[in-house]
Structure 1
Amino acid sequence: MAKNLTSRAEDYSKWYNELVIKADLAENSGVRGCMVIKPYGFAIWEKMQAELDRMFKETGHQNAYFPLFIPKSYFSKEASHVDGFAKECAVVTHYRLKNDENGNGIVVDPAAKLEEELIVRPTSETIIWDTYRKWIQSYRDLPILVNQWANVVRWEMRTRLFLRTAEFLWQEGHTAHATKEEAIAEAEQMMNVYADFVENYMAVPVVKGLKTESERFAGALETYCIEALMQDGKALQAGTSHFLGQNFAKAFDVKFADKEGKLDHVWATSWGVSTRLMGALIMTHSDDNGLVLPPNLAPDQVVIVPIYRNEEQLAAASEVAQELMTGLRAQGMRVKFDNRDTHKPGWKFNEYELKGVPVRIAIGPKDVENGTVEIARRDTLSKELVAVDDAIAYISNLMTEIQENLYQKAAAFREEHTTAVSSYDEFKQVLEEKGGFISAHWDGTAETEERIKIETKATIRCIPLDDDNESGSCMVTGKPSARKVLFAKAY
């Protein structure tokens, strides 16, 4: 199975596409640009959902659901928002089909044209702010802290499983506040929640920062982001949180009466992550043998494979396996016992290596006899013989060790592939020969930013929040620069 994978060094893009399919995560569907997320891939997404949902609720947010269809007129109310999404919108124009009178099958009934076209949700700010107008009258109604788990459609011509598809799954938070300060604090808080999740559950280190004006979300006054670095040296935007100011409140006339009875527009945020996180997870940790999953998100953290030649040996191995499963599950671990007689142990080992299961336990006749088990780590591909009596404690410690090892390995890679440059020639050389994040001064103008993008295909990923704000000169124009920004080619 895994032996058929193209290596990362040979063709990273091909390796990624093959791995997604061979590891049973997703596949292309009969609808162009859309994917089928298979059970194993969806199980990982469910783990992501569960942890994020818990974190949202712990910060006071509640889940709701809003319509998939948005009247076209809603989009015209916030000019920069419609400009940002106009080219990606799928539009519903009719509400009925009929049999063709000339026998050419099913056709759209021309008599069933909608009075107003409906946009298939690319994001929900407009429909939600139209709803919030009915919910908000006074300061007592604020804040509104709502999240939605949903699908969205953004018409894409060039697609790649998980990273860019016409339809994808995500969550989108939409909050309303009485003051500017509250809204900014909310946007920052949610960026930190995302960073916490990505680093501590996905084991992916991120840079927290602000987007430049040209890279901001359409309709936002400020976009906070977390940026991750993939093994091919390209960046991936892992999550965004937007301070929307009063733009949407003014567009949809959402006002509240404060404690003195004075009317004012509310302040807003929106924030989201999507199934693109699956792509980040795959590309940060996986190797030429297949998927590598951090224990915190693995559907199966431990798989037990018996090795046997007859029913008696299977029964003996099963007894040991049952004892281990009971102990490991009591520790909160997700364990699978694979006693299928349709596949040999070697085939199973390959399968679980390809699927990235963090720990594999093999129990053979000699292990039963000696009171030992063979424990294999997916992250290092190392094996260890461990006494059955010690196995539960050993594996429990291993979960923490593997999670930390994956994070440290990714952090070391990022550090090695983050380069500070002072000249444009050096910038282009590093971008071409090494890739990764490049830290450099920029004069703050959209013109210089666009020139760099056109000439090198690199974009400003973010203005890092933890930067030391050291002033200098723009690497392109030589003009004064207040701080360095982070550039990279990106997904």
Structure 2
Amino acid sequence: MGKKQRTAITPTRAEDFPEWYQQVIKAADMAENSPVRGCMIIKPYGFALWENMQGVFDGMIKDHDVENVYFPLLIPLSFMSREADHVEGFAKECAVVTHHRLEASDDGLVPAGKLEEPYVIRPTSEMIIGDAMARWIQSYRDLPMKLNQWCNVMRWEMRTRLFLRTSEFLWQEGHNAFETAEEAQEDSLKMLEAYRVFVEDYLALPVITGEKTEDERFPGADATYTIEAMMQDGKALQAGTSHNLGQNFSKSIGIKFQGREGDEEFAHTTSWGISTRLIGGMIMTHGDDDGMIMPPRVAPHQVIIIPIVRDGQDASTINTYIDDFVAKLKAVGIRVKVDNREERTPNKMWDAIKKGAPIRVEIGGREVDDGVLTYIRRDIGKDSKTTCSVADFVSDVQGVLESIHDDMFNRAKTFRDENIKDVDSLIDITDYFSHDANIGFVRVDTSIMDLPGFEKALKSHSLTTRCMPFANDGKKVLIGKAY
């Protein structure tokens, strides 16, 4: 038996995928659990990634004429009661504020000053944003109205996992209102396409676009559209959703306007959102047994430079060489960091690997003397080790980063496509998922959902319907396990 290869992360993906995921986050120094039950602390490296993601997508939605706003964290309980289906879908996850001050007692501080009306800490903002829209929209001339907010939300989760499922998380939520049903339907699909472009072109996550089945639909929506990704363990991750809310919310909240013929009409609304769970999706799609592999277009640092100073060497010459190199990289728009910590060089190299910087550059006295540098692609590893001149690297680095993105995307897409199996019957589904070696999704005619015992069969194997893919004209449904 051969010697087991050393990995930076233990356990490996094959040994224990859920624990591997947690250890990657720890090794990459991205986040940690907080003293608040079910909530996480996003550390600087993880938050820098989120800021880059936010910056990209914020620009994309502004190209769709969406304007940013901010609404209160606290929502009056009476607002939540206006849409019965909506509140029923979130009721078990709502955190509620009932008092407005603390008082000292023999047992310590206790809540006091009971509120006349409790407040719900926002699980989502359809109701409070809709209340404002009802005031702001008076005429068809006020439409369309397209609003977005970047904020935190709270849904009291029982089983939490960093980034994937926490009681508090960060997201963007878009809320649009339109004059006609056709405009709302077009918008819900347009924003879903924006999500697809964002996650595929920037996060290198291949996704399947489709419509959610009725039982997976957003509470109170006429239709929910989704982008679904497949993780390395074969489970699905709902990466983003866009909802056509019809007139359900506008009627319950009172978003109405004077139409073109003078009649009073209710607006047609949509909502759409993505969250920090996308970071979890990137880890589980791209990470390996040595840690994170960052998609180049959103990586906090696209290039990490590690100075190699031998004992007795003059570091100033190497540092001057690196400073000049860094200036050239920044001039062509590269996010670069020099690891100047007082730490052993091998430890710096392993840190760069675990954090997943797309390109690691090593520069020592030999490179300075020869006017070159050595670089390694994180996604390939030591087999990609290349020595070239500074000028060549600066001119080629954008192309190398593009190749890394394309290779990451294609690897993930190949894995996904190889793990989608077409089946014909309910027995085929249960047989497939009865074998632990079988992962991924099955694809089957939507008519199967009408069969007696369908829901029971899925539940017995912890399966859910993921979506009815647009690529199959809604005639097929994908089924699999999910996060």
Query: Structure 2-normalised TM-score?
Result: 0.95
Equivalent of 1:435 in 434, 439, 443 = 439
* TM-fit CA distance, 1:163: 0.5
Paired residue type of 1:107: V
SS in 2 for 1:151: strand
SS in 2 for 1:256: strand
SS in 2 for 1:24: coil
* TM-fit CA distance, 1:2: 6.0
Q: Which runs of 5+ in 2 are unaligned?
A: 1-5
1-side partners of 2:116 and 2:300: how far apart? 47
* Correspondence 1:324-335 to 2 at 5 A: 324-335=325-336
1-side partners of 2:257 and 2:111: how far apart? 45
Task: Determine the structure 1 residue equivalent to 2:3.
Answer: none
Q: Is contact 2:9–2:20 with CA below 8 Å preserved after alignment?
A: no
Q: Is contact 2:235–2:440 with CA below 8 Å preserved after alignment?
A: yes
Equivalent of 1:104 in 82, 104, 107 = 107
Q: Is contact 2:226–2:242 with CA below 8 Å preserved after alignment?
A: yes
Paired residue type of 1:438: V
The answer on 1:344 being equivalent to 2:344 is yes
Task: Determine the structure 2 residue equivalent to 1:188.
Answer: 189
Equivalent of 1:388 in 382, 387, 390 = 390
* TM-fit CA distance, 1:315: 2.0
2-side partners of 1:441 and 1:279: how far apart? 31
Q: Is contact 1:162–1:275 with CA below 8 Å preserved after alignment?
A: yes
Q: Is contact 1:2–1:350 with CA below 8 Å preserved after alignment?
A: no
* TM-fit CA distance, 1:4: 4.6
The answer on 1:146 being equivalent to 2:147 is yes
Paired residue type of 1:74: F
List per-residue Cα deviations over 1:207-252 (Å, max 9, x = no partner): 0000011100001000010000000000000000000000111101
Equivalent of 1:73 in 75, 78, 84 = 78
Task: Determine the structure 1 residue equivalent to 2:166.
Answer: 165
Equivalent of 2:60 in 22, 44, 55 = 55
Q: Is contact 1:231–1:283 with CA below 8 Å preserved after alignment?
A: yes
Distance 1:177 1:41, change over 3 A: same
Distance 1:313 1:396, change over 3 A: farther
2-side partners of 1:330 and 1:317: how far apart? 20
* TM-fit CA distance, 1:408: 0.6
Q: Is contact 1:214–1:446 with CA below 8 Å preserved after alignment?
A: no
SS in 2 for 1:333: coil
SS in 2 for 1:95: strand
Query: Structure 1-normalised TM-score?
Result: 0.94
* TM-fit CA distance, 1:108: 1.5
The answer on 1:459 being equivalent to 2:461 is no
SS in 2 for 1:3: coil
Equivalent of 2:22 in 13, 17, 24 = 17
Q: Is contact 1:2–1:354 with CA below 8 Å preserved after alignment?
A: no
* Correspondence 1:394-409 to 2 at 5 A: 394-409=396-411
Paired residue type of 2:76: P
Paired residue type of 1:108: P
Q: Is contact 1:162–1:278 with CA below 8 Å preserved after alignment?
A: yes
Q: Is contact 1:452–1:459 with CA below 8 Å preserved after alignment?
A: no
Paired residue type of 2:393: A
Paired residue type of 1:113: K
The answer on 1:121 being equivalent to 2:113 is no
Regions of 4+ moved over 6 Å: none
SS in 2 for 1:240: strand
SS in 1 for 2:442: strand
1-side partners of 2:301 and 2:311: how far apart? 27
* TM-fit CA distance, 1:423: 2.7
Task: Determine the structure 1 residue equivalent to 2:376.
Answer: 376
2-side partners of 1:94 and 1:131: how far apart? 25
* TM-fit CA distance, 1:468: 5.0
Task: Determine the structure 2 residue equivalent to 1:477.
Answer: none
Provide the aligned length of Structure 1 versus Structure 2.
Answer: 473
* TM-fit CA distance, 1:484: 1.5
The answer on 1:490 being equivalent to 2:482 is yes
* Correspondence 1:277-296 to 2 at 5 A: 277-296=278-297
1-side partners of 2:380 and 2:479: how far apart? 31
* TM-fit CA distance, 1:356: 0.3
Q: Is contact 2:222–2:244 with CA below 8 Å preserved after alignment?
A: yes
Paired residue type of 1:488: G
* TM-fit CA distance, 1:310: 5.0
List per-residue Cα deviations over 1:301-322 (Å, max 9, x = no partner): 0011111125754222223212
* TM-fit CA distance, 1:3: 2.6
